[in-house]
């Protein structure tokens, strides 16, 4: 099997490859985040308890998405390195290993949803709104495979350079969710359950699109045939070395949200959680450049690393980071300037000016949470691209848990600065951790340069 033009373009100019992969991802993820904002908008019209419940259940929903992203990152990294080393048969085999792994994980999540969802909600501090949480969350857990499958298939499509098929189904899902959300929540009077059902239906449509291309149209680069599957525990191991840390990173983001909710409710109450839920959904948009460009660099850096091409690897890190910083700064500036109009958008449903104004105050503070986040995010994704998922995980734990949550607890609880201390500590820890993460990837970059130069020198001598 020869390379197609998509793969060859990724192995060529890193700047063009990142632009080709990242900007469609940014657009599709923007629509996905818009989904979350639309959910928040419509659910806010029910009551403050329903909105707070959405804030409590969202981290667990993001865990499911994160697990799919983790499996996708593992197969993307492995396939990219195989393709860079021109091991096409191994790449095809890795695809089938990823699909089998996805099915096993889906069954495990299903079991957790059936038996432990209520306990997880109570543990996270949602006792007062647990019925709302279950209304939204049960269908998400029971049909979790519709969220896992698009993530895994999308990662495989990105690894082979087919960015349209990786992103178009996600765009479709976003548009459908935006349309049917108010219909299910209000017209059919399904309440917060309708918001969860809309999310599932929309994601199911994206699954059907991808399955059509793979098993009916059959015009993808990889074959997706069970006959191509040759069980290889080493492939599972190499995939899990990236998948487990990557999924754990997504779980960490959910844990951070749970910890923040807990500290916020301890220092300020349920209404503050409702306001912060609005902000957390909005501020996630400023993470789009880091996440989207980072996902692109998994493929580009993985191929460069597999091909022992330090020049492309180095350019991938530097260009991706600068591009990401520029976009993040622009988005953060817009949020700071237009904080009140943005949060006022929720007034039309919630009819709660106090809630919207408080959210705007928090948003103006939290734009500084994003400023240096591209440094840490790029470091984490490049480590995933080279197959060193545990370094990626280590930088994320340091940034998100040890520093960000550590400072939040120090300022907010120990120093008794209240909810402002929680927010301030979160921001300070995030920025310090991001700088440290970027230093780590630049140290590795220099080691890789030295390794490639020594290998080239040895070959020239021979």
Each residue's pLDDT tens digit, 49-61: 887 788 778 777 7
The arithmetic mean of pLDDT across residues 83-111, rounded, is 85
pLDDT surpasses 80 at 332? yes
CA atoms within 13 A on the CB side of 40: 30
Classify burial at 187, counting beta carbons within 10 Å of its beta carbon; exposed 0-12, middle 13-18, buried 19 or more.
exposed
By C-alpha distance, which of 354, 334, 218 is closest to 275? 354
The arithmetic mean of pLDDT across residues 199-228, rounded, is 87
pLDDT in tens, 236-272: 887 777 777 777 766 777 778 788 888 988 888 777 8
**Higher per-residue pLDDT: 8 or 85:** 85
Q: Please, what's the b/e burial string for 314-340 (b: 16 or more CB within 10 A of its CB; e: otherwise)? A: bbbbebbbebbbebbbebbeebeeebe
Distance CA 341, CA 345 (A): 6
pTM for the whole thing?
0.71
pLDDT surpasses 80 at 101? yes
Distance CA 117, CA 49 (A): 18
Cβ–Cβ < 8 Å for 163, 24: yes
16-20, 182-186, 373-377: range with lowest mean pLDDT: 16-20
Distance CA 52, CA 272 (A): 9
| DSSP designation for 45 | T
Q: Please report the pLDDT score of residue 388 as a whole number.
A: 81
By C-alpha distance, which of 332, 428, 417, 432 is closest to 376? 432
pLDDT in tens, 136-151: 888 898 999 998 898 8
Q: Please report the pLDDT score of residue 200 as a whole number.
A: 92
pLDDT surpasses 70 at 354? yes
Q: Please, what's the b/e burial string for 232-269 (b: 16 or more CB within 10 A of its CB; e: otherwise)? A: eeebbebbbbbbbbbbbbbbbbbbbbbbbbbbbbebbe
Residue 396, number of CB atoms within 10 A of its CB:
25
Distance CA 203, CA 199 (A): 6
**Residue 220: C-alpha distances to residues 9, 102, 380 (Å):** 17, 19, 29
* Proportion of the chain in helix, strand, coil states, percent, rounded to 5: 90, 0, 10
Distance CA 71, CA 140 (A): 18
Cβ–Cβ < 8 Å for 123, 44: no
**Residue 230: C-alpha distances to residues 83, 98, 236, 270 (Å):** 18, 12, 11, 53
Distance CA 446, CA 115 (A): 49
DSSP for 114-171?
Answer: HHHHHHHHHHTT-GGGHHHHHHHHHHHHHTTHHHHHHHHHHHHHHHTT-HHHHHHHHH
Distance CA 371, CA 391 (A): 22
Question: What confidence tier does 67 reach under pLDDT thresholds 50, 70, 90?
Answer: confident
By C-alpha distance, which of 341, 344, 345, 335 is closest to 365? 335
Distance CA 116, CA 110 (A): 10
Cβ–Cβ < 8 Å for 425, 402: no
What angle (nearest 5°) sits at the alpha carbon of residue 301, between those of residues 461 and 244? 120
Helix, strand, or coil here: 15?
Answer: helix
Positive or negative, the Cα torsion across 163, 23, 380, 456?
A: positive
All residues at 6 or more sequence positions from 13 whose CB lies less than 8 Å from its CB, including other chains: none
CA atoms within 13 A on the CB side of 335: 29
The arithmetic mean of pLDDT across residues 70-76, rounded, is 80
Rounded to the nearest 10°, the torsion over CA 178, 28, 172, 249 is -80
Q: Percentage of residues in the chain with pLDDT exceeding 90?
A: 21
By C-alpha distance, which of 441, 424, 462 is closest to 383? 441
């Amino acid at each position: 099997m020869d390379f197609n033009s998509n793969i060859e373009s990724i192995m060529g100019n890193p700047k063009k490859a990142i632009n080709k992969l990242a900007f469609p991802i940014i657009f599709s993820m923007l629509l996905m985040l818009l989904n979350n904002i639309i959910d928040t908008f419509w659910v806010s019209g029910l009551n403050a308890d329903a909105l707070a419940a959405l804030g409590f259940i969202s981290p667990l929903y993001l865990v499911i998405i994160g697990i799919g992203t983790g499996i996708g990152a593992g197969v993307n990294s492995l396939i990219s390195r195989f393709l860079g080393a021109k091991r096409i048969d191994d790449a095809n085999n890795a695809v089938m290993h990823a699909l089998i792994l996805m099915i096993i994980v889906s069954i495990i999540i299903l079991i957790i949803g059936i038996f432990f969802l209520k306990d997880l909600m109570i543990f996270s501090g949602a006792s007062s709104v647990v019925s709302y949480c279950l209304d939204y969350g049960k269908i998400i857990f029971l049909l979790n495979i519709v969220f896992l499958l698009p993530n895994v298939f999308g990662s495989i499509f990105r690894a082979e350079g087919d960015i349209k098929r990786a992103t178009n189904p996600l765009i479709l899902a976003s548009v459908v969710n935006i349309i049917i959300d108010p219909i299910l929540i209000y017209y059919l009077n399904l309440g917060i359950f309708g918001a969860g059902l809309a999310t599932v239906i929309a994601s199911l449509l994206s699954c059907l699109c991808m399955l059509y291309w793979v098993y009916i149209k059959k015009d993808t680069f990889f074959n997706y045939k069970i006959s191509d599957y040759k069980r290889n525990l080493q492939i599972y191991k190499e995939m899990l070395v990236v998948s487990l840390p990557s999924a754990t990173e997504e779980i960490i983001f959910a844990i951070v949200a749970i910890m923040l909710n807990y500290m916020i409710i301890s220092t300020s109450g349920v209404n503050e959680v409702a306001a912060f839920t609005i902000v957390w959904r909005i501020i996630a948009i400023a993470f789009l450049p880091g996440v989207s460009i980072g996902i692109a660099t998994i493929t580009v850096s993985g191929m460069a690393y597999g091909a022992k091409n330090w020049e492309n690897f180095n350019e991938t890190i530097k260009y991706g980071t600068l591009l990401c910083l520029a976009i993040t700064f622009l988005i953060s500036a817009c949020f700071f300037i237009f904080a009140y109009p943005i949060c006022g958008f929720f007034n039309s449903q919630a009819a709660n000016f106090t809630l919207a104004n408080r959210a705007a105050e928090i948003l103006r503070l939290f734009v500084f949470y994003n400023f240096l986040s591209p440094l840490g995010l790029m470091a984490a994704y490049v480590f995933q691209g080279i197959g060193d998922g545990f370094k990626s995980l280590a930088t994320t734990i340091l940034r998100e848990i040890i520093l960000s949550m550590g400072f939040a607890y120090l300022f907010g609880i120990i120093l008794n600065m209240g909810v402002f201390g929680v927010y301030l500590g979160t921001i300070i820890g995030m920025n310090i951790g991001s700088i440290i993460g970027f230093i780590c990837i630049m140290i590795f970059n220099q080691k890789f340069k030295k390794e490639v130069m020594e290998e080239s020198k040895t070959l020239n001598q021979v």
